[in-house]
Amino acid sequence: MSGGLEVKNGFCIITSMASIKARHYATGTGYEVILQDGEISALSYLFAGGREFPFVAPGLVDLQVNGYGGMEFNDPALTSEKVRKIALAMDQDGVVEFCPTFTTADHALLRHSIRTVADTIESDADVARRCQHLHLEGPFISAEDGPRGAHPQTHVRPPCWDEFQQLQEAARGRIKILTMSPEYDGSPQFIGKIVDSGVVVAIGHTSASSDQIAAAVDAGASMSTHLGNGAHGTIRRHPNYLWDQIAEDRLTCSLIADGHHLPAAVVKTVVRAKSVERCVLVSDITGMGGMPPGIYESTAGLGKVEVLDDGRLVVPGQRQLLAGAALPIGVGIVKAMEYAELPLESAVNMASLGPARIVGYRLPKLEVGTRADLVFFDIIDGQFEVVATVNAGEIVYLKDS
Ligand SMILES: [Zn+2]
């Protein structure tokens, strides 16, 4: 940022200092937020006004980002430039930290993609401050239709410690979440080793039995990935792997609450049963995120896909079939509030402090003297509209007024 004074969209920016009037997301109280030298240097209570200001909250953290703007992390031709473009694109959605997510593929592709991201994190400070942790979703998942979702069957395989080690080596230790199915023999032992190595094991894309899920949790699995998606279209009423995971208090679940992946009743039921503290929101956004409505050749190798006007990503001609997610995590905040009748604070925490805690990312609360990782936003007509994103004290996104 150059020197001098700039006033834009109600933000007053003086060289390395910015003054922003905003409403606290938990209380609705008006504050003047002063940012200086990367930190919140003052929070001054405003006695008058407030409703006209945007909300301010801890920046959003998305544990599942497959790509954006026509690019995927699962890409044999992935380059540092593409990684940088995806990382910077997160700013406009209020995301200050995200996990690049790698899905089921052959070993060479996974290794290349993971290594490219790890290299970029080490060589590009702008990328490093937006992502530190990687999410490996697969290839150790269920091969069955339904639980497998859109992951290619030919590359699904049972858990293999040596392969995981090779991928973790390519990541230079940055894989922080492994989503897998515990339905394979030896899963508890495998999970125990993974957890001992400091990686969060998430149950997902699974057709595991109740006993297998219980054994996985006893072995250290602590998360359920996009609960309710990556499942059979029809399952036995009970017991089944959904009830087992909902009832297990040692599992925190992620939910894709984009309005398309889960009906309102499911979001409400899961959030009420597990509690807000044990639910986090993810976008699971693919390379079709950020693309205008239209028909595209899928960047994830799914053939032709269509982005509809409402952001729904479908198979052309079969609009009831979802082909992934294309909406940012902020959409989930608004939907979670609506579906589960949550206050704003709870819904935002499910997309910020909650996911940050899972990967051990130190996302500060709104306090003087803490690093400024913030999102300023409005909710207008049911839309989550990001006004500004602050990453490590720098305003990295500011909406045109
Ligand atoms: Zn998935």
- CATH code for position 25: 2.30.40.10
Residue 233: pLDDT band (50, 70, 90) is: very high
Q: What is the pTM of this model?
A: 0.96
CA of 254 to the centre of ligand 1 (A): 11
- Based on the number of CB atoms within 10 Å of its own CB, is 195 exposed (0-12), middle (13-18) or buried (19 or more)? middle
Separation of CA 230 and ligand 1 centre (Å): 6
Q: Are residues 135 and 92 in the same domain?
A: yes
What is the span of the domain harbouring residue 30?
5-58+363-398
Q: Between residues 394 and 51, which one has the greater pLDDT?
A: 394
pLDDT of residue 52: 86
Number of domains in the chain: 2
Q: How would residue 371 be classed by pLDDT, with cut points 50, 70 and 90?
A: very high
Q: Is there a contact between 313 and 294 (Cβ–Cβ < 8 Å)?
A: no
pLDDT tens figures, 292-339: 999 998 777 777 889 999 989 988 888 877 888 999 999 999 999 999
Does residue 195 share a domain with residue 280? Answer: yes
Average pLDDT score, the chain: 94
The pLDDT confidence band at residue 263, using thresholds 50, 70 and 90, is: very high
Same domain flag for 383 and 338? no
Same-domain check for residues 91 and 195: yes
CA 218–ligand 1 middle distance (angstroms)? 23
Span from the CA of 58 to the centroid of ligand 1 (angstroms): 26
Q: What is the mean pLDDT of residues 174-200?
A: 98
The confidence band for 15, taking pLDDT boundaries of 50, 70 and 90, is low
The conformation of residue 41, written as its DSSP 8-state character, comes to E
Is the predicted pLDDT of residue 4 greater than 60, yes or no?
no
- Rounded CA-CA distance 82/80 in Å is 5
Given a cut of 50, whether residue 3 has pLDDT beyond it is no
Same domain, 259 and 308: yes
Q: Ligand 1 centroid to 196 CA: how many Å?
A: 24
pLDDT band (50, 70, 90) for residue 89: very high
Other CB atoms within a 10 A radius of the CB of residue 319 amount to: 11
Distance 379 CA to ligand 1 centre (A): 28
Kindly give the distance from the C-alpha atom of residue 156 to the centroid of ligand 1, in angstroms, as a whole number.
13
CA 180 to ligand 1 centroid distance, Å: 10
Separation of 104 CA from ligand 1 center, angstroms? 9
Q: What is the pLDDT of residue 51?
A: 80
The two structure tokens encoding residue 380: 């207008």
Answer yes or no: is pLDDT of 5 > 80: no
227 Cα–ligand 1 center, Å: 9
Same domain, 22 and 116: no
Rounded to the nearest whole angstrom, what is the distance from the C-alpha of residue 105 to the centroid of ligand 1? 13
Q: Are residues 354 and 371 in the same domain?
A: no
CATH assignment of the domain containing 76: 3.20.20.140
Q: Are residues 390 and 268 in the same domain?
A: no
What band does 365 get if pLDDT is binned at 50, 70 and 90?
confident
Give the distance (Å) from ligand 1 centre to CA of residue 237. Answer: 23
Quickly state the pLDDT bin for 400 (edges 50, 70, 90): confident
* CA dihedral of residues 120, 124, 129, 134 (deg, nearest 10): 0
Q: Does residue 120 sit in the same domain as residue 158? A: yes
User: Tell me: the pLDDT tens digits for 209-231?
Assistant: 999 999 999 999 999 999 999 99
How far away, in angstroms, is 226 Cα from ligand 1 center?
7
Ligand 1 centroid vs 18 CA: distance in angstroms? Answer: 39
What is the helix (H) or strand (E) element at residue 306, kind and residue range?
strand 304-307
Percent of the chain with pLDDT over 70: 97
**How many A from CA of 49 to the centre of ligand 1?**
44
Least confident of 129-133, 313-317, 379-383: 313-317
Is 117's pLDDT higher than 60?
Answer: yes
CA of 142 to the centre of ligand 1 (A): 11
For 387, the 3-state DSSP assignment is strand
Shared-domain flag, residues 279 and 352:
yes
What is the distance in A from the centroid of ligand 1 to the CA of 149? 7
In angstroms, what is the span from residue 324 Cα to ligand 1's centroid? Answer: 9
Tell me how far the alpha carbon of residue 12 lies from the centroid of ligand 1, in angstroms. Answer: 42
| Whether residue 53 is found in the same domain as residue 138 | no
Q: Are residues 84 and 94 in the same domain?
A: yes
Using the mean position of ligand 1's atoms as its centre, give its distance from the Cα of residue 193 in Å. 23
Residue 131 contacts residue 99 (beta carbons within 8 Å):
yes
Angle of CA points 106, 108, 112, to nearest 5°: 120
pLDDT bin (cut points 50, 70, 90) of residue 2 is very low
Cα 137 to ligand 1 centroid, rounded to whole Å:
7
Confidence at residue 297, expressed as pLDDT on a 0 to 100 scale: 86
